[in-house]
Structure 1
Amino acid sequence: MLGFPMRIKMHPLWLIMAILAFLHGYLLDFILLFLVIVLHEIGHAVAAHSYGYVIAEIEIFPFGGVAKIEGRRVGYYAREETVIALAGPFVNLFLGVVVALLHGSGFLPDMMAEQLLTINATIGVINLLPALPLDGGRIARAYLADEIGFDRATKAVTTMSYRVAIAVMLIGIIAFLFGYADVGLFLLGVFLLISTMLYQKKNKVETMRFLDEKRNLAQAILPVKTIAISENATLQEVASYFSPDNYHLIYILESKKVIAQDIILDYIFTSNGWHQPIKSLL
Structure 2
Amino acid sequence: MEIFQIKGLSIRVHPTFLLVLLAYGILGLITQALLIFALVIGHELAHLLTAKAYGFKVVGLEIFPFGGAAYCDDLFEGRKIEESIMAVAGPLFNFLLLFAAQAIRWQGYWSGGSSEEFIRINFWLAAFNLLPLLPLDGGRIVRALFSDVFGFVRTTKVLARCGQAFGIILIILGLIFAGKGNSMEGIITLFLLAGFFLLSGNKEIASARITFLRQLTRKKEELLSKGFMKSKVLTAYTETPLIRIIEELTPDRYALIHLPGKEFQVERTLTETEVVEGMMRHGIHYPVGKL
TM-score w.r.t. the length of structure 1 is 0.82
Q: Which amino acid in the other structure matches residue 72 of structure 1?
A: D
Indicate which of 171, 180, 185 corresponds to 2:182. 180
Do the aligned partners of residues 258 and 19 (structure 1) sit closer, same or farther apart at CA in structure 2, a change above 3 Å counting?
A: closer
CA contact (8 A) 2:78 2:148 kept: no
Do the aligned partners of residues 161 and 55 (structure 1) sit closer, same or farther apart at CA in structure 2, a change above 3 Å counting?
A: same
Q: Using the alignment, how far apart are the partners of 1:236 and 1:190 within structure 2?
A: 29
Residue 226 of structure 1: SS of its match in structure 2?
strand
Which deviations, in whole Å up to 9, do the C-alpha atoms of 1:257-277 show, x marking residues without a partner?
Answer: 4636355257448x7355443
Q: Using the alignment, how far apart are the partners of 1:59 and 1:202 within structure 2?
A: 14
Q: Which amino acid in the other structure matches residue 274 of structure 2?
A: I
Identity, % of aligned positions: 26
Q: Using the alignment, how far apart are the partners of 2:162 and 2:168 within structure 1?
A: 10
| Structure 1 residue 137: Cα displacement | 1.9
Name the counterpart of 1:278.
288
CA contact (8 A) 2:91 2:126 kept: yes
CA contact (8 A) 1:129 1:137 kept: yes
Do the aligned partners of residues 244 and 15 (structure 1) sit closer, same or farther apart at CA in structure 2, a change above 3 Å counting?
A: closer
Name the counterpart of 2:217.
212
CA contact (8 A) 2:257 2:272 kept: no
Name the counterpart of 1:233.
240
Which deviations, in whole Å up to 9, do the C-alpha atoms of 1:177-236 show, x marking residues without a partner?
Answer: 233222212221122112213334445334333333334333746443221111232433
Name the counterpart of 2:68.
65
Residue 266 of structure 2: SS of its match in structure 1?
coil
TM-score w.r.t. the length of structure 2 is 0.80
Do the aligned partners of residues 41 and 180 (structure 1) sit closer, same or farther apart at CA in structure 2, a change above 3 Å counting?
A: same
Do the aligned partners of residues 65 and 193 (structure 1) sit closer, same or farther apart at CA in structure 2, a change above 3 Å counting?
A: same
Which 5+ residue runs of structure 1 have no aligned equivalent?
none
CA contact (8 A) 2:14 2:63 kept: no
CA contact (8 A) 1:76 1:210 kept: no
1:248 aligns with 2:250: no
| Structure 1 residue 88: Cα displacement | 0.9
Q: Using the alignment, how far apart are the partners of 1:17 and 1:267 within structure 2?
A: 44
Which 5+ residue runs of structure 2 have no aligned equivalent?
1-5
Do the aligned partners of residues 215 and 151 (structure 1) sit closer, same or farther apart at CA in structure 2, a change above 3 Å counting?
A: farther
CA contact (8 A) 1:128 1:135 kept: yes
